[in-house]
Every structure is written in structure tokens, then in C-alpha cells.
Structure 1
Amino acid sequence: MIRRRTAIGVSAVALLATTPLLTACGSDAHPGAAAVVEGDRITVSQLQAQVRDVRDAQEASPQSAELIAGTAQLGRATLNSMIFDRVLAKAADDAGITVSRRDVQQARAEAERAAGGAVKLRRMWLQQYAIAPARIDNTLRTQVVMDRLSRKIGADSSTPEGQAKIVKALGDASSSMNIDVNPRYGKWDAKQVRLGGTQEPWLRPAEPQGGGGAGIGTG
């Protein structure tokens, strides 16, 4: 993946290959939970709902077969992003970073402008990142938070050194959060800030292939 400061923080970009919709049984310690983060349960039903949003959008696309085939481990990648969002929120809170609704609205306007309109943005992000239309604002909020965190700690995400600095800040937050993942989805790597076998959800291409460049510049 291309590392670049102008577009960071997209949840669920590290998609691997179709698992069936997830069953509701959890680990022995946390029945019905896909993960527990600082005592807060991410339930299997919550995870299923996000996966279903993506699948419904994919099924409505003319490229449905291709999109579904390319996101076979969508459930696991989605859980990775759901946990990451909580880690990022803690790191941002620790750094005194806040993001307003207006900030997100401005980011969306920029992203839609860069993509060539709202419809094109929705289509592009579904096709390239498996982001359901209902999750676009959440994804943009993550981008804004990540950019502000990077600036706060003096990290340039376009360089290996800057990326390492960001991972360190997120890893410190992650290590303090007592993250317990249902073994069926893997094991959380606190230092790398991801489920084992997935990629960093906060890195994505700055300009989506095929034109337009939906990546936003938040700084």
C-alpha cells in the first residue's frame, strides 16, 4: 500500500478474501462477543451488522460478484477496524485531540469534490475499500483524527520513521486497553495495532486507482 500523509485512517481497507455471516457464539469468557475492549463488548451482532451493510451495497452493484469475491474475509477485517477505531479514540483522547461534526462535514465535502461527486465517492470507496455508504462519515472522521494525531506527535506518515512513530503512539494506547479477541477471529497484536494477519487499517492509497483521487488532505 502507498503511504502518504494526505489520506490516512480508512477503516476496513485491509480486506483479505467470503466467509459466511458469523454465528453468534463467542469465546467461553465472553459469550456472544467478537471482542472486548476495556470491558466494552463488540458483539457478534454488531459485527454482523457492519458486514451486512457492505454485502448489501456490494450485491446492489453491477460488479457484485467481483466485489464479494475480493472481500472473502470481510468479517475479520471489519472487526480489525472496529477495534482499531477504539484504540485511535483513546490515543486521540490521551493527546487532547477532538473532532467536531463540522470537521467531518468539511472532510466529506473535500472527498466528494476530489472524487467527482457524492455518488462517485460512494461507488469508489465501496469498490476499492469495501466501505458501505453509511460508514463514510465514520471513515472520514478517522482520517481527520489520524491526521491530527500525526501532527500532534510530529510524525510524517509518508516516511517509515513517521509511520513507526504513529504505530508507537497507537501501540502504547492499545497495550493499555486490555483487548480480548474471540479466538475464532484471531489474536490482537497490541504493538502492531491489528489482528494478526491483517494490515494497518490507517494506511490506504492516496489516490484510488481508476481516477479521481478520493483521498482527502486534512492538513
Structure 2
Amino acid sequence: MHRRRRTAFLLSAALVTAAPLLSACGNDAHPGAAAVVGGDRITVSQLENRVNEVRSAQRAATTGEAQYEQAIAKSGGLTRDTLHGMVLDRVLHQAAQDAGVTVTRKEVQSFRGDLEKQAGDAKALEVAWLQQYGVAPERLDDNLRVQIEAQKLAAALGTDTSQPAFWKALSEASKKMDVDLNPRYGDWDVEKSSRVDAKLPWLREVTSSGSKETA
């Protein structure tokens, strides 16, 4: 995952790529968990609900099955990217707390108001966030809070979100929170504060075996 994509305007839920929804049952250490962050579980059910929110919003915003399928194709890997956002939100919040950064509801509403003016109206903003970043309308305020938090954290650090100092703070927060992903969804790269695909020996073996059978 390119750092530019992670630091572009949206820090969470901005990554959209198509893997089918995985009905994970959790790893041995954390049954039913898609991830454990700072001792708190992000359950598979919570992850699936977030993905379903986006899919429902996409269906409501499209006309006909063909248009809906096209929207899905543009948001592939949604499950893994949604989990990435859910974990990164928590890591960022920890880093912000460590730096004494807080975000008020008034700041979120003011930011949203400015964006709605730029987009045309509230509905246009919701559609834009859904199409570009995979953010369901009911999660828009939460997402905007994350953006403000990231900008204020960067300012507190005397840097911006594209610079190493910012990502170092997130890396330190990742270490502090001991992020643990269910291997089915990948691994968490502490240094980059990013989800990465897991390199599982059994997966390579199955892939290799399958290749031999079809050769």
C-alpha cells in the first residue's frame, strides 16, 4: 500500500479494493475476532456490519443491478480495507491522546459544513464519500473526526501527515496497542501502521499444489 494513498485526504476507510466478504471465525488466540487492538476486540460481526453498511449504501445510490455491480467492482477488497480503517482509527486516536490532541463535535460539524458547501449539499457530500472512499453515510461524521484528529496531531508534532514524524507517532501507538490481526485478514505492519497481506506457509503450499495439478 502506497503511503500517498494512506495519507491522501482520508486516513481511514479510504482504501477500496474486491475480495469477497470472509466469514472468519477468528484465530485460536482470539476466537471470533477480526483484530484485537489495545486489548479491545474488533469482532468479525462488527466488521461484517461495517461492510454491509457500505454495500447497502452503494445499492441505494445506484440504479439497477449493473450499476450496483460496477460499484462493487470499484470497491474490491472492501472487507480488508474496512478492517484496516477500523484498526488505524484506533491507532490514530491513541497517538492523538498521547499528544494531548482532542477533537470537539463543533469542529466536526464546522468541517462537515465546509465540505457540504464544496460538494453542493449534504447528500452530494455523502455520495462523494461513499463513491471515493467507501464511507457509508452513517459513518461520515466519524470519518471526518478522524481527518481532523490526524491534522491536529500532525500540527502538534510540528509536521504534516505525509512526513515520517507523523507516521513514527502512529508506529509508536501501534506498538503500544499491540495490534493483532486475525491471519485470515493479513498482518499489521507496526512500522508502517498498515495492514499487509499475511505470508502463510500453508497458503503457498496449497497454491503451489494447485499449480502443479493444473500444469
Show structure 1 runs of 5+ residues with no match: 198-219
1:139-190 Cα distance to aligned partner (Å, 9 max, x none):
1000100110011001134xxxx52121111111111111111000000001
In structure 1, the residue matched to 2:160 is 156
- Confirm whether residue 11 of structure 1 aligns to residue 15 of structure 2: no
1:53-93 Cα distance to aligned partner (Å, 9 max, x none):
00001112233221101112101000000000110110000
Q: Give the direction of change, closer, same or farther, for the CA distance of 1:69–1:137 in structure 2 (3 Å limit).
A: same
Q: Distance in 1 between matches of 2:8 and 2:111?
A: 11
Q: Give the direction of change, closer, same or farther, for the CA distance of 1:154–1:112 in structure 2 (3 Å limit).
A: same
More helix by share: 2
- Confirm whether residue 25 of structure 1 aligns to residue 25 of structure 2: yes
For the 8 Å contact 1:12–1:131, the answer to whether it is kept is yes
Q: Distance in 2 between matches of 1:129 and 1:24?
A: 24
Q: Distance in 2 between matches of 1:103 and 1:79?
A: 26
For the 8 Å contact 2:108–2:141, the answer to whether it is kept is yes
CA RMSD of aligned residues (A): 2.0
Q: Distance in 2 between matches of 1:70 and 1:88?
A: 27
1:85-122 Cα distance to aligned partner (Å, 9 max, x none):
11011000000011111111111111111111111111
In structure 2, the residue matched to 1:82 is 86
In structure 2, the residue matched to 1:201 is none
Report the TM-score, using the length of structure 2 for normalisation.
0.83
Q: Which amino acid aligns with 1:79?
A: L
In structure 1, the residue matched to 2:113 is 109
In structure 2, the residue matched to 1:205 is none
Q: Distance in 1 between matches of 2:73 and 2:167?
A: 30
Deviates more, 1:91-100 or 1:6-15: 6-15
For the 8 Å contact 1:26–1:34, the answer to whether it is kept is yes
Deviation (angstroms), 1:135: 0.8
Q: Which amino acid aligns with 2:194?
A: R
Report the TM-score, using the length of structure 1 for normalisation.
0.82
Q: Which amino acid aligns with 1:93?
A: Q
In structure 2, the residue matched to 1:173 is 173
Of residues 142, 147, 152, the one that matches 1:143 is 147
Structure 1 runs of 4+ aligned residues shifted over 6 Å read none
Q: Which amino acid aligns with 1:75?
A: T
In structure 2, the residue matched to 1:40 is 40
Of residues 124, 127, 134, the one that matches 1:123 is 127
The higher relative CO (CA closer than 8 Å, separation ≥ 6) is in 1
The structure with more radius of gyration? 2
Q: Which amino acid aligns with 2:138?
A: A
Q: State the identity %.
A: 49
Deviates more, 1:66-75 or 1:42-51: 66-75
- Aligned with 1:176: secondary structure? helix
In the comparison of the two structures, how many residue pairs are matched? 191
